[in-house]
Structure 1
Amino acid sequence: MTCGKNVNIGTNAHFGNGKHIVIGFNSGIGINAKVPNNIITGDHVMMGKNVTIFGSNYAFDRIDIPMTKQGMKVYPPVVIEDDVWIGNNSIILAGRTIKKGTIIAAGTVLTKDFPEYSVVGGNPSKLLKSRLDIVQQKNE
């Protein structure tokens, strides 16, 4: 595990076995968060309560054998880039990358990746707006 300075870990946060975890500077892991072994978190990341991040999932590619006998599917690490805010009770599926400056609304089920500075919400996740548009409108 690699951890930057000024990191806040909420009570009852769970980190799998603790291997292959990177947490950047000035970041926080929320109360009751469940974080997988394969996660890379950038700097200035805020995470709300009860966030669940999956690092793996069951394989189900074959129909000739039960899913319970197919094992686990391997995914790339979950990457949370700098300056990200993840709202309470969000679920991040395995292999996702949350780009710089993104806001994940409370209760979101993040099923795919979005561009930098996105505001994302819903189940399944969808783009609600771009923070870049908000900044542009302010400057007009």
Structure 2
Amino acid sequence: MNNYIKKSSSFLSELRLYLCNHFISNIPSHTIRLLFYREFMSFNIGKGSSIFMGCKFDCARGLTIGVNSVINARCRLDSRGGLIIGDNVSISEDVIILTADHDMDAADFAGRNKNVIIEDYAWIGTRAMILPGINTGKGAVIAAGSVVTKNVNAFQVVAGVPAKFIKMRNQNLEYKNNYKRLFQ
């Protein structure tokens, strides 16, 4: 009986994720998507924040988004290791944020989970990739197409593969990212 319960629970979990990634994420209504994400995926999403259409998730739970943050279309957010996104964060289209990988040197290719934190006012450019265990400081900018393999300090601008320091960003940030687009 116990094995049956495990299989049933696993099936329901996978079904929820499938529905989320292939149906819910394509509904052109912020209200419906956010309701599903909060109630059925157990994501903690702050007031004024948006997740645009086509975003994919690797698991339920483990995702926290602050107030007035925007996740643009077709992003992949992996929250298996825990993903915290602060207030007024802008994540551009097609960004990938990973919190899990494998230990390539382990005989059993063991999986590992490492949390990712993106602090307030950070801006992640289109098609950037953030690897497991990375902390992105307040106001940091990750340029489009960058692959982040090391922590990014507050107000740093980084670019490239792997991402390297370019310059410092203005530290007087007071904007709010609470925008939504119809049918997005």
TM-score by length of 1: 0.86
Give 1:124-139 correspondences, 5 Å limit: 124-132=162-170
Percent identity over the alignment is: 33
* Larger proportion of strand: 1
Partner of residue 61, structure 1: 105
Unaligned segments of structure 2, at least 5 residues: 1-42, 173-184
Query: Could you give the per-residue CA deviations for residues 79-111 of structure 1, whole angstroms, max 9, x where no partner exists?
Result: 000001000000000010000000110000001
In structure 2, distance between residues paired with 1:74 and 1:27: 24
Is 1:47 equivalent to 2:91 in the alignment? yes
Aligned to 2:109: 70
Which secondary structure does the structure 2 equivalent of 1:129 belong to?
strand
Quote the offset at 1:26 in angstroms. 0.2
Inter-partner Cα distance in structure 2 for 1:114 and 1:84? 10
The normalised TM-score by structure 2 is 0.66
Bigger radius of gyration? 2
Amino acid aligned to 1:71: A
Distance in 1 of aligned mates of 2:140 and 2:65: 17
Give distance in 2, aligned partners of 1:48 and 1:89: 8
Instruction: Give 1:98's aligned amino acid.
Output: T
Provide the residue aligned with 1:22 in structure 2: 64
2:124 match:
86
Offset at 1:36? 1.1
Letter matched to residue 59 of structure 1: D
Aligned position for 2:49: 7
In structure 2, what is the Cα distance between the partners aligned to 1:18 and 1:42?
19
Q: Which runs of 4+ in 1 moved over 3 A?
A: none
Root-mean-square deviation (CA, aligned residues, Å) is 1.5
Q: Aligned residue for 1:138? A: none
Partner Cα distance (1:48, 1:30) in 2: 5
1:18 and 1:46 map into 2 onto residues whose CA distance is 22
After TM superposition, the structure 1 stretch with the greater mean CA deviation from structure 2, 14-23 or 31-40, is: 14-23
1:26-41 correspondence runs (5 A):
26-37=68-79, 38-41=82-85
Q: Deviations over 1:17-75 (max 9, x none)?
A: 2211100000011211000112000000001110001111111224xx4xxx3221232
AA paired with 2:149?
T
